[in-house]
A and B are shown apart, each in its own frame.
Chain A
Amino acid sequence: MSKKIAGFLLLLLGAAVCYPIFFLFTGSLMGTGELQNHLGAALSLGEQPMSWSLLPLTPTLRHYVQLLLDSPEFFHMFWNSAALTAGILAGQLLAGVPAAWGFARYAFPFKKLLFTLYILLMMMPFQVTMLSSYLVLSEMQLTDTLPAVILPGAFSTFPVFIMYRFFCGIPQALMDAARIDGAGERDIFLHLGIPLGSSGIVSAVVLGFLESWNLIEQPLTFLKSKKLWPLSLYLPNISPERAGISFAASVVTLLPALMVFLCGQDYLEQGIVAAAVKE
């Protein structure tokens, strides 16, 4: 009996936790007038007290149409976000997968020291490296370009650590067998390491995607011109009169992350756990 009550309470809590997402979807389908009636007070558009209804009275896709057809700046920001995310992920894979493989499967001098360094760097919040990144980026005259956000992100050590954990799980015997068969080290990496460690790579990509799609501090610090901004900086600047557009834009921003979450949830959980279990 008490189990049922606990289950019910948790179900309520879970629904409450997910409600904000539902709220955005319903809001984006409400007409302008309906939104004004509901939210006018908080958006300083009217005097009526706040209200909300679970579902829209007169559902409409108008805001989406407006957003997709009449807001060129939205498209621009969307592609900026996409370019940043793609660039960061590509860099993380190109540099990170071999590095994780090197750490996991080979012994070389100073390995322990270097690995500790990677873990330490992974733990530093952005604010710590903000000035140092800025100095080197302005030295390279990259500030206020998309690579200013992409390059430091591409060399993040967090994905290396995640993939390292998965590569460590590949049995040594397989590598030895491949060597006896005369496979070169590069072939072992490409044909044995990458396929067998693929779930680790996907985990790192899922975590990396959610992080890069949500970047705020980095573009805020390194990008001055608004035309380079990603969606995450654009959304809060939509004026309150365009509440409908704001809702629709929020949903469109949310969708890619939601897709990645739903398709990659198992990998996401594996990635989270990989960062935590003891060696």
Chain B
Amino acid sequence: MGRRKHALTGILFLLPSLAGVCIFVLIPFLDVTLRSFQNAVTRTWTGLDNYRILFRTPAFRLAVKNTLRFTGICIPLLICMSLFISVFLQRLKRLGSLLKSAFLLPMAVPVASVVLLWRVTFHEDGFLSLLAVSTGHEAVDWMNSGYAFWVLVFSYIWKNLGYDIVLWMAGLSGIPYNLYEAARVDGAGEWTCFFKITLPSLKPVLYTITVLSFLNSFKVFREGYLAAGDYPDESMYLLQHLFNNWFREMDFDKLAAAAVLMVLVIFGLVSLLKRSWDLEE
């Protein structure tokens, strides 16, 4: 009897939030899933037509390709850089915690505040061109060339470096110090310690860091959009731009199909990653 009464209390605590989630997310998303198999205007069933059209749209293919390229380059780069920095910060004690704050600071900076700086830096006559010219290269209109992609990579790393460092350092502080002492007594060097103790102990953290970095990578659209608008250079046209443009043009059938696909892909990626890590352990 007591248990059941408490079960009801638990549900009551959850209820307001669950009701909101159902109304604003779950039920409408079911509707979107249905729409992805329907014609947007007449709402008649069209089977998989929307999905077929999606794959034939060149803009969609371009956006998928760029998004894959972006995540494929950014995430390993960010993870390695932040791990490298964390290992050093860990040893610096007081200066280390000060520097951790410094690396975390960009996370607090609203994107809109730095757009101005991005503009004067990456403009054709901006700071970066100045640097290029003074080192004997040519001035480039960075945001309207293939370099735009790298500007985006740079903003992502700048913004997320501190976040990943905090995660790595939490993982590092969990490794018992006597493991290292024992290894040193056995004559292991710095590198051996790193590869045989540090890396294997961090494996569980690596999973969550990868997933969180992946999720944060979608937010780079903010920088991209504010600095370059709806139709940026082809090299940085991401899925987020495409979704945004389809929404504005009321292309709801394509948008619905793409949203359903994206849920499946994210769900698949996250569980695949989790499984491969679980198997290895």
Contacts and interface: CB of A to CB of B under 8 A. Distances in A.
A76 interface: no
Interface stretch (B18-26, B44-52, B53-61, B192-200): B18-26
A33 interface: no
A64 interface: no
A1 B6 CA distance: 61
B92 A10 contact: yes
Interface string A189-218: 100000000000000000000100110110
In this complex, which of A41, A133, A189 has the most chain B Cβ atoms within 10 angstroms of its Cβ?
Answer: A41
A276 B256 contact: no
B215 interface: yes
- Interface of chain A: mostly helix, strand, loop or mixed: helix
A42 B125 contact: yes
A231 B112 contact: yes
Given A214-B111, A231-B112, A155 B106 contact: no
A131 B18 CA distance: 20
Contacts of B209: 276
Contact of B10 (A102, A129, A217): A102
Is the interface on chain A under 10, 10 to 19, 20 to 34, or 35 or more residues? 35 or more
Contacts of A125: 215, 218-219, 240, 262, 266
Given A11-B95, A41-B126, A124 B263 contact: yes
B10 A105 contact: yes
Contact of A253 (B11, B31, B113, B163): B113
- Interface of chain B: mostly helix, strand, loop or mixed: helix
B89 A98 contact: no
Given A99-B13, A99-B18, A275 B91 contact: no
In this complex, which of B117, B120, B266 has the most chain A Cβ atoms within 10 angstroms of its Cβ?
Answer: B120
Contact of B112 (A6, A27, A103, A235): A235
A107 to B, nearest CB: 6
Interface string B224-259: 011000000000000110011001000010011001
A210 B116 contact: no
Contact of B218 (A21, A126, A133): A126
A189 to B, nearest CB: 7
In this complex, which of A234, A257, A269 has the most chain B Cβ atoms within 10 angstroms of its Cβ?
Answer: A269
A17 B218 contact: no
B10 A107 contact: yes
Nearest to B262: A128
Given A21-B109, A155-B24, A124 B9 contact: no
B112 to A, nearest CB: 4
Interface stretch (A53-61, A66-74, A243-251): A243-251
Contacts of A114: 14, 18
Interface stretch (B97-105, B144-152, B177-185): B97-105
Given A42-B126, A132-B28, A231-B112, A160 B17 contact: yes
A105 B32 CA distance: 34
A89 to B, nearest CB: 15
Contacts of B170: 273, 276-277
Contacts of B110: 213-214, 231-232, 253-254, 257
B188 to A, nearest CB: 18
Contact of A120 (B117, B222, B259, B267): B267
A274 B4 CA distance: 30
Nearest to B131: A50
A185 B243 contact: no
B166 interface: yes
Contacts of A79: none
A123 B103 contact: no
Nearest to A119: B270
Nearest to B16: A95
Contacts of B166: 269, 272-273
A265 B20 CA distance: 30
Interface string A137-162: 00000000000000110110100100
B73 interface: no
A185 B104 CA distance: 39
A43 interface: yes
A6 B13 contact: no
B1 interface: no
14 contacts: A42-B123, A43-B120, A105-B10, A106-B11, A120-B267, A213-B110, A214-B222, A216-B225, A217-B221, A235-B112, A235-B115, A254-B113, A268-B104, A273-B170
Closest 8 CB pairs of A and B: A106-B10, A102-B13, A99-B17, A155-B20, A132-B28, A261-B108, A125-B218, A14-B102
